[in-house]
A and B are shown apart, each in its own frame.
Chain A
């Protein structure tokens, strides 16, 4: 088991290396002079020369890559031309908000979607099942921004339960922090609830037809025990897989949600960086997102081995 964890961690190194190479080439292979691109439309020849010098663009390309990797390993992701700050600092400021939003979204999703899916599977064909499946079609089809504004209108403007927009860091108090993240969390989680409830239902339905579920009934166990102890755990692998994919997709989701709710997170930073053609920041964000994705995948793989003793790498 321990050996597997080590091997799995080691195997992420080549993946991250590939990502770093692609990010590196993204700028180098862009037609034209990268220094001119970085300097922007109003860059003077002198600025361009300075940038070229700073990036070491006069060096041979393999040496440039080594310097680039060396800088990343040192934690130096360069300086943002748009924000005029170290990119690492910029990301450090924003990462908290996005992480909180993602965690809250995940919690809401799991707490709502899995019980719904299990109940729908157990009572397949009944009205409960039809309501859950109907909701899930709806959840898929409503765009995040429409839902976001709808929720703001109902819960913030009409009912005044939540603030309209904005963000308070955890240091401002747990409630103040959570209070502003609940609506964005719900907004973001709806589509995942729809997805994961469906997946759970399908997966549990499959498992309910298995022989060991029949064995569990033959042992005189109650329905609830059969469902939770025998069916759900066996159904878990595909569900966890989808949750993992969901986390990856979440990265796209936060961009819109953070904009709608005016939360200063990585999603907003991405939008700003792209609009400002802030290449160092974009490069760094791609690296960070790729890293998160690789990490999540690794955690999912590790989870499999806990869920199912047959899975050993």
Chain B
């Protein structure tokens, strides 16, 4: 228990607040490796932000949860090393002692602000719970403290925020509530586990700024976990790079990003797509494969005996894609980019406007007509874990479409083998199930499935967003090769500006259902005209760093 005034014990200056020394965490038997975390050592000094960076499965989160003592019981257990928080070994601490330390001296914020707050408790109550658990403050003191911390995280109208429930707030506001909750008792250590990964880029920039600001004001050391080198460049003082449970490189941020010593770090850093668009040369004008005219989608929610609400998900969208060209739609969540994609494949019906594929209008096509048009437009979705039927072999998933259109099984199968080869997968693995492949491989399978239909237009809806950077780079290269080889029209939907810069010939920026700017990638990235495009580009983390180029130039 901390007293009513909640002053923390004086901290020995200059000494590390957190010192992880030779930590190993065992995985259950039968896992792909023995240790989730293998003999790692990291330290965090006061006022310092140390980034743990690595690809999925590298052991970053396990490290964080080990510090908090929140590893899933019976599955993961620390087997060696020490975790010293201000000189106290957390691995030796009792369960009760750990509970006392949580939120008073070490706090954690999580990746998903959407789900990390209890949906049925008001935000103020959730912060109050921390104060009630750890202090003897009176109701009035607690109330003042809550409003004060909400003010510090720059939430407008703190009393209203305290009274609201998580679902009434935006993702960014929720993450601010989480940060307020974590910092309300002035912990010496803040662990941030991918705190901005689920947020839009402009919100991300604000939250990163906030974490920096508060960490300075509260003198906290921060262990910041991320997979995003842009974020690393933006916030880190020091960087520890993790691979397969080990720290392969630990050093000053400038050194690691500009002069990495380890090949793995070098590969990671060079995989980060550049913000400078690739110069792809002027294209010869070709006929449009896809053309939308004033495409709109309006959702009307009519209720029984109540006012109906109208949402304009897409408004007067005009876009054109010609053969052999990649057109990107960039925008934040809720901007309408996915709505446009779904209208084009007629997964949803547009409210008004035309969608022309050659001279056929998909927007108004009747059932029979639509059947023929469907094979000309194919889509690859974001989440390769969920877009393949887990109970069917990947071969069955690939040949199903062509067979629906009358291809003979033997032909469809031989085509499937060719396509597997094309996406650099072993054709003999067609009779395996999706769970036997990695995320990147599954996305290749999804691409092969789309190509099996012989489309004119391929839509990639955030198709590389769920992938690690190194895998992302490979899939992007694959998509570009395929576009070239088949002279495909590609509509590439993404929230990631770096990705858009690398793959798109032309870019449309969407905001609140409308296209606010469109032009060649080079125009939009180097000379954005619309204020929103400028804000978007400005918010991109690590925009001043040229990761890939820098290293490529050295070689």
A-to-B contact residues, CB < 8 Å:
3, 7, 10-11, 210-212, 214-222, 225, 229-230, 233-234, 307-310, 313
Across the interface, which residues of A come within 8 angstroms of B130, CB to CB? 219-220
Contact flags (1/0) for B107-132 with A, using CB distance below 8 Å? 11010100111111110000001100
Across the interface, which residues of A come within 8 angstroms of B396, CB to CB? none
CA distance A227 to B70 in the complex (A): 16
B-to-A contact residues, CB < 8 Å:
68, 70, 98-104, 107-108, 110, 112, 115-122, 129-130, 133-134, 165, 167, 178, 181, 303-306
Across the interface, which residues of A come within 8 angstroms of B101, CB to CB? 220
Would you give the shortest CB distance from A258 to chain B, in whole angstroms?
A: 38
Q: Are B70 and A310 in contact (CB under 8 A)?
A: no
Across the interface, which residues of A come within 8 angstroms of B104, CB to CB? 220
Q: Are A308 and B119 in contact (CB under 8 A)?
A: yes
Given contacts A10-B305, A220-B104, A309-B122, 4 further A-B contacts (CB under 8 A): A217-B102, A218-B70, A220-B102, A309-B120
Q: Are A310 and B305 in contact (CB under 8 A)?
A: no
Across the interface, which residues of A come within 8 angstroms of B178, CB to CB? 215
Instruction: Pick from B110, B129, B167, B181: contact of A211, CB below 8 A.
Output: B110
Q: Are A221 and B117 in contact (CB under 8 A)?
A: no
Q: Are A218 and B107 in contact (CB under 8 A)?
A: yes
Would you give the shortest CB distance from A52 to chain B, in whole angstroms?
A: 41
Q: Are B120 and A234 in contact (CB under 8 A)?
A: yes
Instruction: Pick from B112, B117, B304: contact of A11, CB below 8 A.
Output: B304
CA distance A44 to B315 in the complex (A): 76
17 contacts between A and B (CB under 8 A): A7-B306, A11-B304, A212-B118, A214-B70, A214-B110, A217-B70, A218-B70, A218-B103, A219-B103, A219-B130, A229-B121, A230-B121, A234-B119, A307-B120, A308-B119, A309-B120, A310-B165
CA distance A211 to B178 in the complex (A): 12
Across the interface, which residues of B come within 8 angstroms of A7, CB to CB? 304-306
Q: What is the chain B residue whose CB lies nearest that of A212?
A: B118
Across the interface, which residues of A come within 8 angstroms of B181, CB to CB? 219
Q: Are B133 and A219 in contact (CB under 8 A)?
A: yes
Q: Are A221 and B133 in contact (CB under 8 A)?
A: yes
Closest 8 CB pairs of A and B: A220-B102, A211-B115, A212-B118, A220-B99, A309-B165, A211-B116, A310-B167, A218-B108
Q: Are A212 and B103 in contact (CB under 8 A)?
A: no
Of B68, B103, B107, B120, most buried by chain A (CB within 10 Å of CB) is B120
Across the interface, which residues of B come within 8 angstroms of A308, CB to CB? 119-120
Q: Are B102 and A218 in contact (CB under 8 A)?
A: yes
Across the interface, which residues of A come within 8 angstroms of B100, CB to CB? 220
Across the interface, which residues of A come within 8 angstroms of B120, CB to CB? 233-234, 307-310
Of A210, A230, A309, A310, most buried by chain B (CB within 10 Å of CB) is A309
CA distance A312 to B116 in the complex (A): 22
CA distance A230 to B121 in the complex (A): 8
Across the interface, which residues of A come within 8 angstroms of B134, CB to CB? 220
Q: What is the chain A residue whose CB lies nearest that of B127?
A: A219
Given A10-B305, A219-B181, A308-B120: A211 touches B112 (CB 8 Å cut-off): yes
Across the interface, which residues of B come within 8 angstroms of A310, CB to CB? 119-120, 165, 167
CA distance A216 to B117 in the complex (A): 9
CA distance A68 to B178 in the complex (A): 60
Across the interface, which residues of B come within 8 angstroms of A216, CB to CB? 118
Of B68, B104, B116, B134, most buried by chain A (CB within 10 Å of CB) is B116
Q: What is the chain B residue whose CB lies nearest that of A308?
A: B120
Q: Are B99 and A222 in contact (CB under 8 A)?
A: yes
Would you give the shortest CB distance from A87 to chain B, in whole angstroms?
A: 33
Q: What is the chain A residue whose CB lies nearest that of B191?
A: A218
Would you give the shortest CB distance from A126 to chain B, in whole angstroms?
A: 11
Q: Are B103 and A309 in contact (CB under 8 A)?
A: no
Q: Are A221 and B99 in contact (CB under 8 A)?
A: yes
Across the interface, which residues of B come within 8 angstroms of A221, CB to CB? 99, 129, 133
Would you give the shortest CB distance from A223 to chain B, in whole angstroms?
A: 9
Would you give the shortest CB distance from A134 to chain B, in whole angstroms?
A: 22
Across the interface, which residues of B come within 8 angstroms of A210, CB to CB? 115
Q: Are A219 and B102 in contact (CB under 8 A)?
A: yes
Across the interface, which residues of B come within 8 angstroms of A225, CB to CB? 133
Would you give the shortest CB distance from B188 to chain A, in whole angstroms?
A: 15
Q: Are B117 and A212 in contact (CB under 8 A)?
A: yes
Across the interface, which residues of B come within 8 angstroms of A309, CB to CB? 119-120, 122, 165, 167
Given A10-B305, A214-B110: A220 touches B165 (CB 8 Å cut-off): no
Q: What is the chain B residue whose CB lies nearest that of A220?
A: B102
Would you give the shortest CB distance from A231 to chain B, in whole angstroms?
A: 9
Q: What is the chain B residue whose CB lies nearest that of A125?
A: B74
Across the interface, which residues of B come within 8 angstroms of A10, CB to CB? 305
Across the interface, which residues of A come within 8 angstroms of B119, CB to CB? 212, 234, 308-310
Q: What is the chain A residue whose CB lies nearest that of B303?
A: A313
Would you give the shortest CB distance from B68 to chain A, in whole angstroms?
A: 6
Across the interface, which residues of B come within 8 angstroms of A219, CB to CB? 102-103, 129-130, 133, 181
Would you give the shortest CB distance from A64 to chain B, in whole angstroms?
A: 30
Q: What is the chain A residue whose CB lies nearest that of B113?
A: A211
Across the interface, which residues of B come within 8 angstroms of A230, CB to CB? 118, 121
Given A219-B102, A220-B99, A307-B120: A212 touches B68 (CB 8 Å cut-off): no
CA distance A229 to B121 in the complex (A): 9
Would you give the shortest CB distance from A261 to chain B, in whole angstroms?
A: 40
Across the interface, which residues of A come within 8 angstroms of B107, CB to CB? 218
Instruction: Pick from B115, B122, B167: contact of A212, CB below 8 A.
Output: B115
CA distance A233 to B122 in the complex (A): 13
CA distance A309 to B99 in the complex (A): 29
Of A210, A214, A215, A219, most buried by chain B (CB within 10 Å of CB) is A219
Would you give the shortest CB distance from B532 to chain A, in whole angstroms?
A: 30
Across the interface, which residues of B come within 8 angstroms of A215, CB to CB? 110, 116-118, 178
Q: What is the chain A residue whose CB lies nearest that of B105?
A: A220
Instruction: Pick from A220, A229, A233, A234: contact of B103, CB below 8 A.
Output: A220
Q: What is the chain B residue whose CB lies nearest that of A217?
A: B70
CA distance A234 to B117 in the complex (A): 12
CA distance A219 to B122 in the complex (A): 16
CA distance A253 to B115 in the complex (A): 40
CA distance A23 to B164 in the complex (A): 47
Across the interface, which residues of A come within 8 angstroms of B108, CB to CB? 218
Would you give the shortest CB distance from A6 to chain B, in whole angstroms?
A: 9
Across the interface, which residues of B come within 8 angstroms of A212, CB to CB? 115-119
CA distance A215 to B129 in the complex (A): 12
Would you give the shortest CB distance from B306 to chain A, in whole angstroms?
A: 7
Would you give the shortest CB distance from A33 to chain B, in whole angstroms?
A: 41
Q: Are A218 and B167 in contact (CB under 8 A)?
A: no
Would you give the shortest CB distance from A211 to chain B, in whole angstroms?
A: 4
CA distance A45 to B129 in the complex (A): 78
Across the interface, which residues of A come within 8 angstroms of B121, CB to CB? 229-230
CA distance A280 to B333 in the complex (A): 61
CA distance A300 to B367 in the complex (A): 42
Would you give the shortest CB distance from A123 to chain B, in whole angstroms?
A: 12
Would you give the shortest CB distance from A136 to chain B, in whole angstroms?
A: 24
CA distance A309 to B117 in the complex (A): 13
CA distance A230 to B116 in the complex (A): 12
Would you give the shortest CB distance from B28 to chain A, in whole angstroms?
A: 15
Q: Are A220 and B133 in contact (CB under 8 A)?
A: yes
Instruction: Pick from A217, A234, A307, A313: contact of B118, CB below 8 A.
Output: A234
Would you give the shortest CB distance from B113 to chain A, in whole angstroms?
A: 9
CA distance A310 to B107 in the complex (A): 28
CA distance A210 to B117 in the complex (A): 10
Q: What is the chain B residue whose CB lies nearest that of A214?
A: B70
